[in-house]
Chain A
């Protein structure tokens, strides 16, 4: 693959993470457990969709076939999406939503921090911007994990269940392939696998404060989001997210 093509692929991964998790969080809009939290989740959704616009817009430019960020968001099918599977897992209860944001934001925080040093100016700029936002998301979600885990017997149980349900998608957050290998070599992308240890330390720190028990390391782990392999949930998400632009192509309001 040419370098342009590699960076485009890399941008799809980052953009799709933001788009899909942003869409999931937006599903809470109007359904939050309290008003402040409803607003918080909508705000995080906005940040993530904004980040997606940046990365997908850059991907479309690199592709150079006249497609736009909207074409990439609304006119690709599930197998063409490159997001990590964790981002597409349904909201479940509030504990699942916050645990998903916590596990994901901790990875995104380390990833963007490393990506600010990219030799690609656009990527490092987008990373610098996104880093500030995910730091905020990480602060917010980690505080909730502590409150839920170290809260009542019921909230503790829900947080523990959420952690166990989502754990099988955590290894995949760090999955890499030949795209990473090539971009690491040219100084454009950081080595994701080298960030895993730091991620684990961060996660353990919060789980300890939350009195939650980290699941066994050898549990089954799902893989393949970056290759377009997804859970059955993504198709349903896309059906809702893409309905309007597909039913009424070119529509605007």
Chain B
């Protein structure tokens, strides 16, 4: 691959690309970029989807290509892998704080808590606005595949929760 940029510099560039649906965090912070490597002819970016049908994937791919193209890298291949499956366990505490500051309650608990379909989930989701734990689930599905809808009985505001997945 004919470029003066290093792998690290490419990671930095990717870090500047916001998630198309949750622009408060970058696609790297979201955990969907798994690997960056050079082959003879291309930069190969390996990605994994958050949810199988996430419509933002295409937008992310386009954003990656246009960002790298501005740096003179035009031969970019985006490879999709399914394993290991994306999980919110990969979100750092810093990323979770960014979500909360943006008004989205971050995931609570570990992904493995979610494996039993009939178990009652005991996790408490705090309101991102007033921090009250007096909240309730309105809908398990929200405006995007990765979010659920909640209502805060403390400040009487509806809010979105980034589901633990």
Contacts and interface: CB of A to CB of B under 8 A. Distances in A.
Interface in A17-52: 22, 36-37, 39-40, 42-51
Given A50-B51, A129-B85, 15 more contacts: A36-B141, A39-B141, A39-B142, A46-B51, A50-B52, A50-B54, A125-B81, A125-B82, A129-B83, A132-B85, A135-B115, A136-B114, A139-B117, A140-B140, A202-B118
15 contacts: A22-B53, A36-B149, A40-B141, A43-B141, A44-B141, A49-B53, A122-B82, A126-B82, A129-B52, A132-B85, A132-B111, A132-B165, A135-B117, A139-B117, A202-B118
Interface of A: 22, 36-37, 39-40, 42-51, 53-54, 109, 121-122, 124-126, 128-133, 135-136, 138-140, 142, 202, 205-206
B139 interface: yes
Contacts of A46: 51, 53-55, 145
Contacts of B51: 46-47, 50, 133
Interface in B131-165: 138-143, 145, 149, 165
A103 to B, nearest CB: 13
Contacts of A132: 85, 111, 114, 165
Given A40-B140, A43-B145, A136-B140, A206 B118 contact: yes
A188 to B, nearest CB: 15
A140 B141 contact: yes
Contacts of A206: 118
A45 B52 CA distance: 11
Contacts of B138: 36
A51 B85 contact: no
Contacts of B142: 39, 43
Contacts of A36: 138-139, 141, 149
B143 A39 contact: yes
B118 A139 contact: yes
B83 A124 contact: yes
A125 B52 contact: no
B85 A54 contact: no
Interface in B59-115: 81-86, 111, 114-115
Contacts of B143: 39
Contacts of B55: 46
A150 to B, nearest CB: 15
Contacts of A135: 114-115, 117
B92 to A, nearest CB: 20
Nearest to A57: B80
Contacts of A45: 53
A121 B83 CA distance: 8
B156 to A, nearest CB: 18
Nearest to A122: B82
Nearest to A209: B118
Nearest to B84: A128
- CB-CB nearest 7 A-B residue pairs: A50-B53, A50-B52, A125-B83, A125-B82, A46-B53, A36-B139, A40-B141
B128 interface: no
A109 B86 CA distance: 18
B139 A54 contact: no
Contacts of A50: 49, 51-54
Interface string B8-39: 00000000000000000000000000000000
Contacts of A138: 117
Contacts of A37: 139
A50 B80 CA distance: 13
Nearest to B53: A50
Contact of B117 (A22, A43, A109): A109
B146 to A, nearest CB: 10
Nearest to B165: A132
